[in-house]
Amino acid sequence: MIWNEKIECASREDMEAIQSERLCETVKRIYHNVPAYRKKMQEVGLTAYDIHGISDLHKLPFTIKTDLRDNYPYGLFTVPMSEIVRLHASSGTTGKPIVVGYTRKDIQMWAEVVSRSLTMAGVHRNDIVQIAYGYGLFTGGLGLHYGTENLGASVIPISGGNTHKQIQLMEDFGSSVLCCTPSYALNIAEVMREMKVDMKKLKLRVGVFGAEPWSEAMRKDIETKLGIKAIDIYGLSEIVGPGVSCECEHQCGMHINEDHFLPEIINPETLEPMAPGEIGELVFTTITKEGIPLIRYRTRDLTRLIYDKCACGRTLVRMEKCKGRSDDMLIIRGVNVFPSQVESVLLSISEVEPHYLIIVDREGTLDKMSLMVEVQEQFFSDEIKKLEDLRMKIARRLDSVLGISVNVKLVEPKTIERTAGKAKRVIDNRKI
Amino acid sequence: MLIKQLSIFLENKSGRLNEVSQILGSNGINMSAFSVADTSEFGILRLIVSDPELACKVLRENQFSVSLTDVVCLNCPNEPGALAKTLEILSDNKVSIAYLYAYSMGDSANVVLKPDQMEQCIKVLQANKVDLVKASELYKI
């Protein structure tokens, strides 16, 4: 089934006409309503009337994560706060989060693209959908929630964690769809095995997994262990949240809801657009969003676009699974972590020098982050209790800024490798 | 009365203690007492040496985190109940002990301790005629 056949199967010409019209409207709105955008456009000699369609897209200046931080919290909003009905936030590159605001229409648009995505995954109104993404500031939980309700399926808004209860409700309520991070899906599968759950009694059929990178090998593993079809869903809070793109049942790339989110691939070094099919950095322009439209937002995700018609009948352009990042962001248990955030935490603690090393491991199915911090002369205490207190203090601050627990290890001075060039701050031992 | 104790931060990995003793040995520094406090991840080596300032300098040159901490050392008879008597004096006077380590030498024993309030500790020990070891004597042992 296709949720919105007219759009999802539109010809390239029709789609480009829709995109061009919406792009021009969006550019006019941001030019007139957001001083920061107007200034950026004027700096490159552009006015709102120089953009006539998507062929002019490359003329527009890029937006990067720092722009959101510099205009924190509401500087890039295009509408007054009275029009905003919801706020979400995700981690920024330093201590401050980035904030996105949704108008009532944005929430409806988001529900629409998530309904399309779920339909692509094979979910229908008779399904019982267990949403085990976190609810709250993170877009995962509420994004899937509204899309599922809009589709007409039944939502179990259980949120993340409490794996035993997840499994119990899955058995008792007959959940047929599970939405969570792929690593949490594997975790659930493992606990099921420990609990000797009779898989035949489960109704589970489809998993809609995202918010972190995962490989084809991991997909096979999940599909075998849970006996389901595992579908990849993509999104980022800045653009809307989950539902920017999603795989169909053919699992051959994620269909981008390109009538709302206009994609481009650029060379992250030269910033020049790349030829179709080449791997580069994914850039999105939101062309219907009212709360906080973003122009040529650099996602830092590396992928390629596929314009061929899909076996499912949809013509929406597909993006391949992301092949990495063009920055140093880590995704740990679905949470975005930047080394610069860790650095800002260490700088806020007077006893510590910001010599550190982040180590990420996958133990079983869960990601574990450790942080090695050098014990400097000036904060070395002769008493174990004081060193333990310091360790706990660093861990607590990191938890409050990053939103994940970190195992802090104190190490001897000068043991963290110094390199001539850029310091090596991260060792990622996960095999994704 | 104050003894300069050397405290060294050590990660729990093999060979580190050996390295410390080699550095001290090659610089002609003798150890009179030491103890190791450890947690699952790291340890603190506490040392009384013949020349604390020099030891501190050479260890720092070798990239160790070192600090000098003031401790006191008392001498008590090596017999049952002797330590208890001293500890009672401290607890009666509300002096807490962060840590201590001790070694016996025939008839008597030396007890190195780090109290929470140094001045008060020395005052009550002296008032109760507890034998405190002078730094110059301890460094020579």
CATH number of the domain to which A371 belongs: 3.30.300.30
Region A345-363 average pLDDT? 83
Region A144-171 average pLDDT? 96
Q: pLDDT band at A432, cuts 50/70/90?
A: low
Residues A293 and A266 in one domain: yes
Cα distance between residue A64 and residue A336, in whole Å: 16
Best B3, B9, B23, B46 residue to mutate vs chain A (most A CBs within 10 Å)? B9
Q: Is the pLDDT of residue A243 over 90?
A: yes
Inside any domain, residue A1: no
Average pLDDT over chain A, rounded to an integer: 92
Inside any domain, residue A96: yes
Of B16, B65, B98, the CB nearest to A375: B65
Q: Is the pLDDT of residue A425 over 70?
A: yes
Q: Own/partner pairs for A225-229, CB < 8 Å, 24+ apart?
A: A225/A186, A225/A189, A225/A190, A225/A193, A226/A178, A226/A185, A226/A188, A226/A189, A226/A192, A226/A199, A227/A199, A227/A202, A228/A178, A228/A204, A229/A121, A229/A122, A229/A205
Q: Is the pLDDT of residue A354 over 80?
A: no
Given A283, A301, A327, the domain boundary residue is A327
> Which tokens go with B34?
């030491």
Residues A401 and A276 in one domain: no
Cα distance between residue A235 and residue A256, in whole Å: 10
Residues A121 and A247 in one domain: yes
Contact criterion met (CB below 8 Å) for A160 and A147: no
Inside any domain, residue A361: yes
Residues A322 and A386 in one domain: no
Q: List pLDDT tens digits, range A42-53.
A: 999 999 999 999
Residues A415 and A299 in one domain: no
Q: Coil, helix or strand for B101?
A: strand
Inside any domain, residue A39: no
Contact criterion met (CB below 8 Å) for A318 and A293: no
Q: Is the pLDDT of residue B70 over 60?
A: yes
Residues A76 and A172 in one domain: yes
Region A169-187 average pLDDT? 94
Cα distance between residue A135 and residue A148, in whole Å: 14
Given A285, A307, A327, the domain boundary residue is A327
Given A278, A293, A327, the domain boundary residue is A327
| The predicted structure's pLDDT at residue A209 | 96
- B-contacting residues of A 355-394, CB under 8 Å? 375-377, 380-385, 387-388
Q: Which domain holds residue A356?
A: 332-428
Cα distance between residue A297 and residue A292, in whole Å: 12
Contact criterion met (CB below 8 Å) for A63 and A71: no
> Which tokens go with A381?
């205490």
Residues A357 and A387 in one domain: yes
- How many angstroms separate the Cα of A24 from the Cα of each of A14, A17, A19? 16, 11, 9
CA angle A95, A408, B98 (to 5 degrees): 120
Question: Into how many domains does chain A fold?
Answer: 2
Q: Do A412 and B41 touch (CB under 8 A)?
A: no
AA letter at A422: K
Residue of B nearest to A377 (CA): B65
Inside any domain, residue A53: no
CA angle A409, B38, B9 (to 5 degrees): 65
Region B90-95 average pLDDT? 94
Residues A304 and A189 in one domain: yes
Query: Which ranges of A200-258 does DSSP label H, i.e. alpha helix?
Result: 216-226
Of B41, B65, B114, the CB nearest to A413: B65
Burial of A216 (0-12, 13-18, 19+ CB in 10 A): exposed
Q: pLDDT band at A421, cuts 50/70/90?
A: low
Inside any domain, residue A269: yes
Q: List pLDDT tens digits, range A31-77.
A: 999 999 999 999 999 999 999 999 999 999 999 999 998 999 999 99
Task: For chain B, say whether A410 makes contact (Cβ under 8 Å).
Answer: yes
Residues A321 and A339 in one domain: no
Q: List pLDDT tens digits, range B18-56.
A: 999 999 999 999 998 989 988 888 889 999 999 999 999
Inside any domain, residue A30: no
Residues A289 and A344 in one domain: no
AA letter at B50: S
Average pLDDT over chain B, rounded to an integer: 91
The closest alpha carbon to A24, from A59, A51, A47, A50, belongs to A51
The domains located in chain B, with CATH, are 3-69 (3.30.2130.10), 70-140 (3.30.2130.10)
Q: What is the CATH number of the domain that holds A184?
A: 3.40.50.12780
Region A255-274 average pLDDT? 96
Residues A323 and A336 in one domain: no
- Supply φ then ψ for residue A156, to 5 degrees: -110, 100
The closest alpha carbon to B31, from B6, B17, B50, belongs to B50
Provide the β-strand partners of residue B99: B114
The total number of residues shown for chain B amounts to 141
Residues A269 and A383 in one domain: no
Q: pLDDT band at A400, cuts 50/70/90?
A: confident
**Which chain B residues are closer than 8 Å to A375 by Cβ?**
9, 42, 65
Inside any domain, residue A405: yes
The closest alpha carbon to A335, from A366, A357, A297, A363, belongs to A366
